[in-house]
Amino acid sequence: EGEAADARERSGERAEREALERREEMRQTIAEERETGMAIAALLLVIGALSGGGGLVLFAYRAGIRHGMYLASAAWGVGGVLLIAAVTVFVTRPTMSDLAERLGDDDQPASTVTTGYDPAGANQCELDGELSRITVTQPEPLRFNWGGDGCQNGGAQFAEAEDGVWQRPFVAGDEPVVRVESFDTNRGEYTVQRYQISAAQLAEARRIRARYREASCEAGDGRAIGDLHREIAELLPRAPNEHLTYQCRKVGAE
């Protein structure tokens, strides 16, 4: 009976690990699709603008071109269609809120949908090596206090990116690295993603960061951190150079 219970526990852990892996893969897929949608929308926007500009040229010189008015109208029509298509592609990009729908409730063990984790207070987080990609960091356990408004250790404000998931970017001052930390408060999972970027990108990231005052868990800081994260994210490559996943548990108050 004891061996059967151990087998069931191992099977449950394996199923949960596989579900976590699928979730992370799908999250990366959605991020890539969003970037692809932005690129396509930008391309359609440029082509549409060029088509509209060509229509203006044809209209201006229609007197010297046979059927110039018809050609100008056609160019404007094509440009208008492309501009509408660009807006449509941009608006219909997938969002992280589509994650649960894509995974499907049947594809996730019940424990991975909502663990009922209560993040408020002190948290101790251990590295999950099977869900991490370690390159240069020597990971150590994390310990921090968490407030219900996304405040870490009473001074670092996070922004809520989706239901129960909080994020914050950190721009390094001594190396070309941007670090994005996320805390899934529903599941007690903490992730650290490190992106190596060029010197020019780092300078731009620091310029963006300098426009925002240091967030200190005051009213309105969460929205500012969200705006900061969106601007910084536009500079980052599709996938991080290093991805660390931690599983957290509650500990005694500090």
Residue 221 to residue 227: CA distance in whole angstroms: 10
| 2-60 helix and 68-91 helix, angle to the nearest 10 degrees | 160
Q: What angle is formed at CA 148 by the lines to CA 108 and CA 210, rounded to 5 degrees?
A: 100
Q: How many C-beta neighbours within 10 Å does residue 109 have?
A: 14
pLDDT attached to residue 112: 41
What ranges do the domains of the chain cover? 2-100, 118-250
Res 251: pLDDT? 87
> Using CA atoms, how far apart are residues 225 and 233, in angstroms rounded to an integer?
12
The series of mean pLDDT values per 10 residues for the chain, 254 residues long, is: 54 60 70 73 72 58 54 64 72 58 50 66 93 87 92 90 88 86 94 93 90 72 84 89 94 66
